[in-house]
Amino acid sequence: MDPQTGASTFETQAHGVTLSLTQLLPDQVRAFYVARGFDLADANVFAEACVFMTVLRNDAAPGEIDFRLTDWEVRYDGATRSLPPPENWLTQWSARGVPDAAMLAFRWAQFPAEQSYAPGEWNQGMLATGLPPGSRFDLIARWTIADQTYEGRLDDVRCTD
Amino acid sequence: MFVAPIDRICKGLPVLPALLLCLGTVGAVGTGAAADLPPLSHRLTVIEDPAPAPPLRLEDIDGVEHDIADLKGRLVLVNFWATWCPPCRREMPSMERLYQQLNARGLTVLAVDVGEDVDTVFAFTGQLDPPPTFPLLLDTDSSAAQDWDVKGLPTSFVVDPEGRVIIRAVGGTEFDDAAAIEQLLPFLQKP
């Protein structure tokens, strides 16, 4: 846990890949998006969606990894669900009249919906689960190397209250 | 020494410094120690089947247009970044050191800011040490990033003197690391 913010990080290593989720406090998320052109009501929608700063890194996998967030699963309250795709958020922002420049910032600040990492490559971005504040869930991340699927699992991840 | 809580610091700052500090902290959260930031990569990924580079013609923050088509014969590092992106900020000083070291031997660096305006980028550059002396291009609608099939920031590409994309680096990279420089030297003029 970060002693300054109280935010917790959840991390796992599997098959040469590191995955970490760090809680983002709603204030942090709100501040970021309001500064980039969201109005407060719109920023609040995302800030309350259980957002994590997510890092996925190919440290030493036996080849280039490919992943799509649509293959990842959230297990919450006895059910398995998908992560809300970034496109859904963008559709919502468009309907709410969020300015184009703000939507552009949103799109690039998200963890990529799909990506490939050679050994040493990585990304960092925001990932929203859409779960209520304080929820606890398990995340199953999946990636492939030469058509073989691998998994990494984070158990009992907690959304900020 | 008194250390103020980070949320108080963030709230007390004007918008831009607050973003830089607070999102930098977001990038660092873990134990709150700088040592726990995700490490920058020290290697570049060689592309096995190099293809011609996509077009790239943009204005820099001084209004000067740059066209990668005019850079045939030079090795070009194209870096897609944004001021709010913590690993982008961390890797930029290493790009400047690389540029200082290899510019005379034929290396050009084009840093393409994705989705921000000139005032935002200009304000940011003053905080870097060393400050960038290579061109900072503005891809305000992110069309160039899409043309180059960038999926996350930062992403960088190396274009060889024949205009082919030969190397990529996805994620924050220490560009002046000896191992990275070693990969670039065969494409540069001898000292």
Closest residue in A to B120 (Cα) is: A36
Nearest CA in chain A to B117: A101
Q: Are B115 and B140 within 8 A, CB to CB?
A: yes
- pLDDT, mean of residues B126-139: 93
Q: Looking at beta carbons, which residues of chain A come within 8 Å of B3?
A: 4
Residue B184 CA from chain centroid, whole number: 16
Token pair 């590191």: residue: A18
Query: Does B31 sit within 8 Å of A124, measured CB to CB?
Result: no
Residue A44 lies in a domain: yes
Looking at the domain assignment, is residue A111 inside a domain?
A: yes
pLDDT: which is higher, B156 or B23: B156
For residue A25, which of A54, A1, A52, A56 has the smallest C-alpha distance? Answer: A52
Q: Tell me if A75 is assigned to some domain.
A: yes
Q: Are strands A114-117 and A65-68 parallel, antiparallel or unpaired?
A: antiparallel
The pLDDT of A65-85, averaged and rounded, is 97
Instruction: Delimit the CATH 3.40.30.10 region(s) of chain B.
Output: 38-187
Q: Is residue A3 part of a domain?
A: no
Establish if A4 belongs to a structural domain: no
Cβ within 8 Å, pair B32-A124? no
- Residue B24: which pLDDT band, with cuts at 50, 70 and 90? very low
Nearest-5° Cα angle at B29, B23 to B30: 165
pLDDT at A158: 97
* Residue A2 domain flag: no
Higher pLDDT, B79 or B5: B79
pLDDT band at B135 (very low <50, low <70, confident <90, very high): very high
Which of B34 and A126 is assigned the larger pLDDT? Answer: A126
> Which of these, B108, B112, B110, B111, lies nearest to B145 by C-alpha position?
B112
- pLDDT surpasses 60 at B161: yes
- Look at the block and give the residue holding tokens 């649509």: A70
- With respect to CATH, is domain B38-187 assigned 1.20.120.450? no
Distance (Å) from the C-alpha of residue A6 to the closest C-alpha of chain B? 9
Per the structure, the complete domain to which residue A22 belongs is given by 9-158
Q: Exposure string (b/e) for B15-40, b if CB count within 10 Å is 16 or more?
A: ebebbbebbebbbbbbebeeeebbbb
Do B152 and A115 make contact, defined as CB atoms within 8 angstroms? yes
Closest Cβ–Cβ partner in A23, A31, A104 for B10: A31
Evaluate if residue B29 carries a pLDDT over 70: no
Distance CA A155, CA B83 (A): 33
pLDDT at B141 over 50: yes
In a domain, A1, yes or no: no
Q: What is the pLDDT of residue B28?
A: 31
Q: How far is CA B7 from CA A38, A44, A153, B12, B58, in A?
A: 20, 17, 31, 9, 37
- Chain B interface, mutation test: which of A11, A69, A104, A126, most B Cβ atoms within 10 Å? A104
**Is B101 part of the contact surface with chain A (CB cutoff 8 Å)?**
no
Three-state SS for B177? coil
- Do you know the residue count of chain A? 161
Question: Of A113, A140, A145, A142, which is closest to residue A126 (Cα–Cα)?
Answer: A113
State whether residue B135 sits within 8 Å of chain A by CB. Answer: no
Asked if residue A151 belongs to a domain, the reply is yes
Hey, are the CB atoms on A120 and B45 less than 8 Å from each other? yes
Q: What CATH number does residue A58 fall under?
A: 2.60.40
Please indicate if any CB of chain A lies within 8 Å of the CB of B141. yes
Quick one: pLDDT at residue B14? Answer: 36
- The domain tally of chain A equals 1
